Structure 1
Amino acid sequence: MMESPIQYILTAVLYVIYLLGLMVNLIIVAANAMKWKSLKSLQTCDKILISLAISRSLNFFYIIIWNTIFLFFPRLLRNNILLSILNILIMFTFYSSFWIATNLCVFYCVRIVTYNYKLFTFLKSNISTMVTWLIPVSLLISLISSLPFGWYGYGLKLQNIRNENTTEYGLSTAQILKIRFLCFSLGSLPPFLIYCVANLLLIHFLLMHIRQMRSNESHIQSPNMNSHFNALKSMSLFLVLQIMLFMYASIHSSGVLFQLQYSHFIADIIACIPTLFHSLYMISSSREVKKMLTSTCLGLIRCC
């Protein structure tokens, strides 16, 4: 499978991104686990964060296995059962991280926004208890959404096309890509739309609140003002990254780059960047996780 220096370079970049993403999310999990052990409990936000980090870690892990098989053990590609299981696991962890990120955004929105509506009042008083069943429901929906990829994931059925006619092969490929994109859209559009609505509501509320605080000159440099600015920057960044992730994953699943050279490497690299950047940002915004990352890096340097 490795035919040119460009493939070696792209493969190296791909594995560096995957391993870095896996390590970063495992550090987030370890830091929150240690916090859980010391405090004997976790806040609702931390529970969502640890669930998000676990789903992302598993997603990076399964993608590493998939690419290792694709690059170094191509004969295993003939085993449709193995590939179906890997496709389902990859999509399940992707959908899970997508839904849990949406739950996290909804949680922030409900806790911060103070609109005087019955729905917001009900959610604000019950959101902490709702999270305990929102995450299992999200996992169940993710599993159901990922099952079709056992049949129409990543061109598996292309191996079973016995007719060698080029026209029929092209038609079959187009049908598979169309079904795959439809399956991806049905599974990813609901959490993406909910995420965008919750995020935009939160950004709108923060902007309005900042304008009100700016009207009073005595509160321009207040700590509360700075916290609102930080929250606004964080939520805006999360929205941009989530939109990028959805766009890249949609392009990848649609097969638009299917015929381009090195499309597999480039698409995977681009698709992983938003998730990796978001995980790094979560580390930078938490003192406990930054300490864990620093100790991990020092331990690796000593081992080397």
Structure 2
Amino acid sequence: MGSTLHNFFTVVMVAEFIFGNLSNGFIVLTHFIDWVRKRTLSSIGWILLFLAISRMVLILEMLLAWLKYLQYSFSFMAGTEVKVIMLTWVVSNHFSLWLATILSIFYLLKIASFSRPVFLYLKWRVKQVLLTILLGNAIFLLFNLIQVNKHIEEWMYQYERNTTWNSRTSGFQRFSELVLLKMIMFSLTPFMVALFSFILLIVSLWKHCQKMQLNFRGEQDPSTKAHMNALRIMVSFLLLYASYFISFFISLIPMTHQKGLDHMLSLTIGLFYPSGHSFILILGHANLRQACHLVLRQLRCGPKH
């Protein structure tokens, strides 16, 4: 049974890795070509470009983590190797979460309609707001890196002092749990911001639909369509974001009696977020969707002789 589950999770993880890299690679390539042609990108174009790059790095980090786990226990990896893997994962995870959250804020400010002076002020200065958030959470990232690096240094010191297998394994277990708790704590903020943006967008849609009914206009006007499209993307983001959190908790609280399967289950669920949400972004954005249709049409027709 354990061997069957092991093979199943391995197949799913490889499929998620391929699918995630294809989706994110497509977004990167499309926007890179667009940038080369026009020598400029829109605000949402830059967000999607760097979001896709951060997710490709995150997916690669998660795959490397699994390959290292197959090769040997993390507790016997070199200290420098652990530091590179952990810090790279922290950076890619940070930007993967925060850039998606910034995308949610962008939808809110561009699509929602509120008459409050504060909202109108932010709406008129979308680029400055997004840049301020990005620079502000860079300080957040720096603090996170300092904290994680401190834990790594402490673990390396304990690692050199302990010589038995049990002490090294238990030491790494405590270290990994501490790092995961830090990641959960630092990841809660962008999740709450995205959730707040989602709630405000729902309120804006409700008010907009009320106004349409009073004016006896149809519900399929451009503003309603924009609201619905943004809400679909944000719902998928929040659900996949939640699954990403669940993968953290599975790593902290074993769900099966076999530790290796716990790790595989955690990675399998965790990969849903960076792989699946990017595909939903392709379906939700007109330019990406059209480019995808063009590529599929070319593949279907095949090379012309």
Fold match (TM-score > 0.5): yes
Cα deviation for residue 105 of structure 1 reads 1.0
Residue pair 2:104, 2:198 contacting (<8 A) in 1 also:
yes
For the structure 1 residues 255 and 59, does the alpha-carbon distance in structure 2 shift closer, same or farther, using more than 3 Å as the test?
Answer: same
Residue pair 1:203, 1:235 contacting (<8 A) in 2 also:
no
Which amino acid is 1:254 matched to? L
Alignment partner, residue 185 of structure 2: 186
User: The residue matched to 1:21 in structure 2 has which SS?
Assistant: helix
Which amino acid is 1:298 matched to? L
Cα deviation for residue 59 of structure 1 reads 0.8
Structure number with higher relative contact order (C-alpha < 8 Å, ≥ 6 residues apart): 2
Alignment partner, residue 22 of structure 2: 23
Alignment partner, residue 246 of structure 2: 248
Cα deviation for residue 83 of structure 1 reads 1.3
Alignment partner, residue 162 of structure 2: 162
| Separation of aligned partners in 2, 1:5 and 1:249 | 21
Q: Render the CA deviation track for 1:181-216: whole Å, top value 9, x for unaligned.
A: 431233112212212112211122112212332344
User: The residue matched to 1:10 in structure 2 has which SS?
Assistant: helix
Residue pair 1:100, 1:138 contacting (<8 A) in 2 also:
no
Which amino acid is 2:198 matched to? N
Alignment partner, residue 217 of structure 1: 216
| Separation of aligned partners in 2, 1:73 and 1:66 | 11
Alignment partner, residue 34 of structure 1: 33
For the structure 1 residues 240 and 288, does the alpha-carbon distance in structure 2 shift closer, same or farther, using more than 3 Å as the test?
Answer: same
Greater mean alpha carbon deviation, residues 85-94 or residues 210-219: 210-219
Aligned CA RMSD, in angstroms, stands at: 3.5
Q: Render the CA deviation track for 1:145-200: whole Å, top value 9, x for unaligned.
A: 144334657xx77966738698x899867754653343123311221221211221
User: The residue matched to 2:271 in structure 1 has which SS?
Assistant: helix
Cα deviation for residue 43 of structure 1 reads 1.3
| Separation of aligned partners in 2, 1:85 and 1:200 | 38
Residue pair 1:92, 1:145 contacting (<8 A) in 2 also:
no
| Separation of aligned partners in 2, 1:91 and 1:149 | 8
Greater mean alpha carbon deviation, residues 219-228 or residues 191-200: 219-228
The answer for unaligned runs of 5 or more in structure 2 is none
The answer for unaligned runs of 5 or more in structure 1 is none
The correspondence of residues 1-304 of structure 1 with structure 2, limited to 5 A, is 4-72=3-71, 77-150=76-149, 152=151, 162=162, 175-176=174-175, 179-245=178-244, 247-252=245-250, 254-257=252-255, 260-261=258-259, 262-290=261-289, 292-293=291-292, 295=295, 298=299
| Separation of aligned partners in 1, 2:164 and 2:100 | 44
Cα deviation for residue 264 of structure 1 reads 0.8
Cα deviation for residue 27 of structure 1 reads 1.1
User: The residue matched to 1:148 in structure 2 has which SS?
Assistant: helix
Cα deviation for residue 121 of structure 1 reads 2.4
| Separation of aligned partners in 2, 1:265 and 1:115 | 45
TM-score of the pair, normalised by structure 2: 0.81
Identity %: 20
Cα deviation for residue 89 of structure 1 reads 0.5
TM-score of the pair, normalised by structure 1: 0.81
User: The residue matched to 1:219 in structure 2 has which SS?
Assistant: coil
Greater mean alpha carbon deviation, residues 94-103 or residues 36-45: 36-45
